[in-house]
Amino acid sequence: MLRLSEAHRKAIAAHGEKAYPQEACGALLGTAKGEFKTVEATIEAANRFGDVEEFREKSGESQANRYVIPPEAIARIEREARERGLDVVGFYHSHPDHPARPSQYDQDHAWPWLSYVIVRVAAGRAEDLNSFVLSDDRAVFAAEFIE
């Protein structure tokens, strides 16, 4: 279960609208007790899809339907989290003109336990927002309840 305040939802939605028609992405910092996570801060990240060697653009792929936060950026985010006494409990990204549900690509690249928040941005306006968690065996990317 994910506790995500209205303020943080609005911040994620605003980032998605600002990035439209490209995918926005960022990190969720917070605390966790077992599977129960509380988001205390969101950090916007630059979408570096196409810049990172392992994620070069193939036909049909662009920042409009792909996002990458490279490891150097993750390392900085992890450091900031530690300095603030928090953990990285998940990530968010937007789906421009696409449902707020994970794709197979999302699932293939997810890490277990982390909360993956997805916001649909349709014609520049943020709509529904959902969160998903990958099972340890990587077989299921299940919706999680947001409080």
Instruction: State the residues that interact with other proteins by CB under 8 A.
Output: 23, 25, 32, 49, 52, 54-55, 60-61, 65-72, 74-75, 78, 87-89, 91, 93, 95-96, 98, 102-103, 105-106, 109-114, 116
| Min CB(111)–other proteins separation in Å | 5
| Min CB(66)–other proteins separation in Å | 4
Are 69 and 45 contacting, i.e. CB atoms less than 8 angstroms apart?
yes
For other proteins, the closer of residues 10 and 72 by Cβ is 72
> Distance (Å, rounded) from C-alpha 31 to C-alpha 40?
7
| Min CB(145)–other proteins separation in Å | 19
For other proteins, the closer of residues 9 and 66 by Cβ is 66
Between strands 115-122 and 141-144, the pairing is unpaired
- For residue 8, how many other CB atoms are within 10 A of its CB? 18
For other proteins, the closer of residues 8 and 49 by Cβ is 49
Q: How many CA atoms lie within 13 A of 77 on its CB side?
A: 23
For other proteins, the closer of residues 11 and 100 by Cβ is 100
Q: How many CA atoms lie within 13 A of 108 on its CB side?
A: 4
| Min CB(125)–other proteins separation in Å | 16
Q: What residue has token string 């279960």? A: 1
